[in-house]
Amino acid sequence: MNNKETFYTKRMKVADLLANDGALLSILQRLDIKLGFGEATVEELCAKYGISAELFLIICNIYSFCEYRPEIERLGENDIKSITTYLRASHRFYTGVCFPAIHENVHRLVKEIDETSRRLIDKFYDDYDNEVSGHFRYEEEVVFPYIEALIASNGNCESKYSISQFEHNHSNINEKLNDLKNIIIKYLGEEFSLPVRFELLNNIYSVEKDLRKHSMIEDRLLVPLVEKLEKNHE
Protein backbone atom coordinates (compact mmCIF):
# COMPACT_ATOMS: atom_id res chain seq x y z
CA MET A 1 0.00 0.00 0.00
CA ASN A 2 1.25 3.49 -0.74
CA ASN A 3 -1.62 5.61 0.56
CA LYS A 4 -4.13 5.69 3.41
CA GLU A 5 -7.26 6.15 1.34
CA THR A 6 -7.96 2.43 0.89
CA PHE A 7 -9.10 0.52 3.95
CA TYR A 8 -7.44 -2.78 4.79
CA THR A 9 -8.97 -6.05 3.59
CA LYS A 10 -8.59 -9.74 4.44
CA ARG A 11 -6.58 -10.49 1.30
CA MET A 12 -3.90 -7.91 2.04
CA LYS A 13 -0.56 -9.09 3.36
CA VAL A 14 0.01 -8.25 7.01
CA ALA A 15 3.49 -6.98 6.13
CA ASP A 16 1.85 -4.43 3.80
CA LEU A 17 -0.39 -3.19 6.61
CA LEU A 18 2.68 -2.62 8.77
CA ALA A 19 4.49 -0.88 5.91
CA ASN A 20 1.52 1.47 5.63
CA ASP A 21 1.29 2.16 9.37
CA GLY A 22 4.02 1.06 11.76
CA ALA A 23 1.75 1.84 14.73
CA LEU A 24 -0.10 -1.42 13.98
CA LEU A 25 2.87 -3.28 15.48
CA SER A 26 1.46 -2.52 18.92
CA ILE A 27 -1.79 -4.30 17.96
CA LEU A 28 0.16 -7.43 17.03
CA GLN A 29 2.00 -7.19 20.34
CA ARG A 30 -1.26 -6.97 22.30
CA LEU A 31 -2.71 -9.94 20.42
CA ASP A 32 0.49 -11.92 21.04
CA ILE A 33 1.08 -12.34 17.29
CA LYS A 34 4.69 -13.25 16.59
CA LEU A 35 6.75 -11.66 13.84
CA GLY A 36 8.18 -13.77 11.04
CA PHE A 37 4.84 -14.41 9.35
CA GLY A 38 6.29 -14.05 5.85
CA GLU A 39 3.79 -13.29 3.08
CA ALA A 40 0.73 -14.28 5.12
CA THR A 41 -2.49 -12.41 4.43
CA VAL A 42 -4.66 -11.00 7.18
CA GLU A 43 -7.08 -13.90 6.71
CA GLU A 44 -4.31 -16.51 6.93
CA LEU A 45 -2.65 -14.99 9.99
CA CYS A 46 -5.92 -14.58 11.87
CA ALA A 47 -6.87 -18.20 11.10
CA LYS A 48 -3.51 -19.34 12.50
CA TYR A 49 -4.04 -17.45 15.76
CA GLY A 50 -7.76 -18.12 16.07
CA ILE A 51 -8.62 -14.43 15.79
CA SER A 52 -11.65 -13.00 14.02
CA ALA A 53 -10.28 -11.50 10.79
CA GLU A 54 -13.30 -9.18 10.63
CA LEU A 55 -12.60 -7.78 14.07
CA PHE A 56 -8.83 -7.59 13.49
CA LEU A 57 -9.41 -5.51 10.36
CA ILE A 58 -11.86 -3.22 12.14
CA ILE A 59 -9.32 -2.51 14.88
CA CYS A 60 -6.51 -1.92 12.36
CA ASN A 61 -8.71 0.35 10.26
CA ILE A 62 -9.72 2.36 13.34
CA TYR A 63 -6.05 2.85 14.21
CA SER A 64 -4.96 3.85 10.71
CA PHE A 65 -7.85 5.83 9.23
CA CYS A 66 -9.49 8.78 10.96
CA GLU A 67 -12.42 8.69 8.53
CA TYR A 68 -13.13 4.99 9.05
CA ARG A 69 -16.48 4.05 10.57
CA PRO A 70 -16.88 0.34 11.38
CA GLU A 71 -19.88 -1.68 10.22
CA ILE A 72 -20.83 -3.79 13.22
CA GLU A 73 -23.78 -5.65 11.73
CA ARG A 74 -21.70 -8.75 11.01
CA LEU A 75 -20.21 -8.91 14.50
CA GLY A 76 -21.77 -11.01 17.25
CA GLU A 77 -21.37 -12.19 20.84
CA ASN A 78 -18.05 -13.93 20.23
CA ASP A 79 -16.67 -10.70 18.84
CA ILE A 80 -17.78 -8.85 21.98
CA LYS A 81 -15.71 -11.32 24.00
CA SER A 82 -12.77 -10.72 21.66
CA ILE A 83 -13.13 -6.95 22.05
CA THR A 84 -13.02 -7.16 25.86
CA THR A 85 -10.00 -9.49 25.57
CA TYR A 86 -8.29 -6.95 23.34
CA LEU A 87 -9.14 -4.05 25.65
CA ARG A 88 -7.73 -5.95 28.62
CA ALA A 89 -4.57 -6.59 26.61
CA SER A 90 -4.44 -2.86 25.86
CA HIS A 91 -4.63 -2.06 29.57
CA ARG A 92 -1.65 -4.36 30.17
CA PHE A 93 0.20 -2.73 27.26
CA TYR A 94 -0.36 0.76 28.69
CA THR A 95 0.50 -0.11 32.28
CA GLY A 96 3.40 -2.43 31.41
CA VAL A 97 5.00 -0.61 28.45
CA CYS A 98 3.72 2.91 27.75
CA PHE A 99 3.31 4.43 31.20
CA PRO A 100 6.61 3.07 32.62
CA ALA A 101 8.42 4.75 29.69
CA ILE A 102 6.68 8.04 30.48
CA HIS A 103 7.37 7.65 34.20
CA GLU A 104 11.06 6.94 33.60
CA ASN A 105 11.46 10.08 31.51
CA VAL A 106 9.46 12.18 33.98
CA HIS A 107 11.85 10.95 36.67
CA ARG A 108 14.88 11.83 34.53
CA LEU A 109 13.48 15.27 33.82
CA VAL A 110 12.55 16.28 37.37
CA LYS A 111 16.06 15.48 38.60
CA GLU A 112 17.30 18.45 36.56
CA ILE A 113 14.73 21.11 37.45
CA ASP A 114 13.95 23.42 40.35
CA GLU A 115 11.86 22.33 43.33
CA THR A 116 8.72 24.27 42.32
CA SER A 117 8.68 22.82 38.79
CA ARG A 118 9.45 19.38 40.17
CA ARG A 119 6.46 19.43 42.51
CA LEU A 120 4.20 20.72 39.73
CA ILE A 121 5.20 18.02 37.25
CA ASP A 122 5.10 15.29 39.88
CA LYS A 123 1.58 16.35 40.86
CA PHE A 124 0.29 16.36 37.28
CA TYR A 125 1.80 12.96 36.58
CA ASP A 126 0.56 11.46 39.87
CA ASP A 127 -2.95 12.85 39.24
CA TYR A 128 -2.91 11.38 35.76
CA ASP A 129 -1.63 8.02 36.98
CA ASN A 130 -4.41 7.85 39.58
CA GLU A 131 -7.08 8.82 37.06
CA VAL A 132 -6.06 6.34 34.40
CA SER A 133 -5.66 3.56 36.99
CA GLY A 134 -9.21 4.28 38.19
CA HIS A 135 -10.50 4.29 34.61
CA PHE A 136 -8.97 0.90 33.85
CA ARG A 137 -10.03 -0.54 37.20
CA TYR A 138 -13.65 0.51 36.58
CA GLU A 139 -13.63 -1.26 33.22
CA GLU A 140 -11.92 -4.38 34.61
CA GLU A 141 -14.07 -4.68 37.74
CA VAL A 142 -17.46 -3.37 36.56
CA VAL A 143 -17.90 -3.05 32.80
CA PHE A 144 -16.23 -6.21 31.50
CA PRO A 145 -17.69 -8.55 34.16
CA TYR A 146 -21.16 -7.13 33.41
CA ILE A 147 -20.71 -7.81 29.68
CA GLU A 148 -19.44 -11.33 30.32
CA ALA A 149 -22.35 -12.06 32.68
CA LEU A 150 -24.79 -10.71 30.08
CA ILE A 151 -23.40 -13.05 27.43
CA ALA A 152 -23.19 -16.05 29.78
CA SER A 153 -26.80 -15.61 30.92
CA ASN A 154 -28.05 -15.22 27.33
CA GLY A 155 -29.21 -11.70 28.14
CA ASN A 156 -30.95 -12.61 31.39
CA CYS A 157 -28.39 -10.98 33.65
CA GLU A 158 -30.11 -9.60 36.76
CA SER A 159 -27.64 -6.74 37.19
CA LYS A 160 -29.13 -3.24 37.34
CA TYR A 161 -26.10 -1.99 35.46
CA SER A 162 -26.33 -1.17 31.75
CA ILE A 163 -23.77 -0.18 29.15
CA SER A 164 -25.40 3.27 28.92
CA GLN A 165 -23.97 4.00 32.37
CA PHE A 166 -20.48 3.36 31.02
CA GLU A 167 -21.19 5.49 27.96
CA HIS A 168 -22.44 8.43 30.03
CA ASN A 169 -19.53 8.30 32.48
CA HIS A 170 -16.79 7.59 29.99
CA SER A 171 -14.00 9.90 31.15
CA ASN A 172 -11.44 11.56 28.94
CA ILE A 173 -8.19 10.20 30.37
CA ASN A 174 -6.09 12.32 28.01
CA GLU A 175 -6.90 15.70 29.57
CA LYS A 176 -4.32 15.62 32.38
CA LEU A 177 -1.72 14.13 30.04
CA ASN A 178 -2.32 17.09 27.73
CA ASP A 179 -1.77 19.46 30.67
CA LEU A 180 1.56 17.80 31.46
CA LYS A 181 2.57 18.03 27.81
CA ASN A 182 1.80 21.77 27.73
CA ILE A 183 3.88 22.42 30.87
CA ILE A 184 6.86 20.68 29.31
CA ILE A 185 6.47 22.52 25.98
CA LYS A 186 5.54 26.00 27.18
CA TYR A 187 6.91 26.61 30.65
CA LEU A 188 10.21 24.80 31.19
CA GLY A 189 13.15 26.99 30.24
CA GLU A 190 15.86 26.25 27.72
CA GLU A 191 18.28 25.27 30.49
CA PHE A 192 16.48 21.94 30.94
CA SER A 193 17.56 18.91 28.93
CA LEU A 194 16.08 19.01 25.45
CA PRO A 195 16.81 15.33 24.64
CA VAL A 196 14.91 14.18 27.75
CA ARG A 197 12.02 16.55 27.03
CA PHE A 198 11.77 15.46 23.39
CA GLU A 199 11.83 11.80 24.37
CA LEU A 200 9.17 12.38 27.04
CA LEU A 201 6.98 14.35 24.64
CA ASN A 202 7.29 11.61 22.02
CA ASN A 203 6.15 9.11 24.68
CA ILE A 204 3.17 11.31 25.56
CA TYR A 205 2.09 12.00 21.96
CA SER A 206 2.29 8.30 21.18
CA VAL A 207 0.18 7.18 24.14
CA GLU A 208 -2.29 10.05 23.62
CA LYS A 209 -2.94 8.88 20.07
CA ASP A 210 -3.24 5.25 21.14
CA LEU A 211 -5.65 6.09 23.95
CA ARG A 212 -7.88 7.99 21.51
CA LYS A 213 -8.06 4.86 19.36
CA HIS A 214 -8.72 2.79 22.48
CA SER A 215 -11.70 5.03 23.28
CA MET A 216 -12.95 4.74 19.68
CA ILE A 217 -12.97 0.95 19.97
CA GLU A 218 -15.04 1.27 23.14
CA ASP A 219 -17.40 3.92 21.72
CA ARG A 220 -17.80 2.63 18.16
CA LEU A 221 -17.61 -1.13 18.78
CA LEU A 222 -18.12 -2.23 22.36
CA VAL A 223 -20.94 0.10 23.42
CA PRO A 224 -23.19 -0.34 20.34
CA LEU A 225 -22.68 -4.11 20.29
CA VAL A 226 -23.59 -4.44 23.98
CA GLU A 227 -26.56 -2.08 23.53
CA LYS A 228 -27.74 -4.33 20.70
CA LEU A 229 -27.33 -7.39 22.93
CA GLU A 230 -29.30 -5.74 25.73
CA LYS A 231 -32.15 -4.77 23.38
CA ASN A 232 -32.32 -8.24 21.85
CA HIS A 233 -32.99 -9.74 25.28
CA GLU A 234 -35.33 -7.14 26.75
Confidence of residue 66 (pLDDT cuts 50, 70, 90): confident
Classify residue 162 as exposed, middle or buried by CB count within 10 Å of its CB (0-12, 13-18, 19+): middle
* pLDDT tens digits for range 174-229: 777 888 888 888 877 776 678 888 998 999 999 989 999 998 999 899 999 999 88
Contact 3, 16 (CB under 8 A): no
pTM score of the predicted model: 0.85
pLDDT digits (tens, 9 = 90+) for 152-168: 876 667 677 889 888 77
Question: Which amino acid is located at 129 in the chain?
Answer: D
Is the pLDDT at 4 greater than 60, yes or no? no
Q: Which has more confidence, 160 or 11?
A: 11
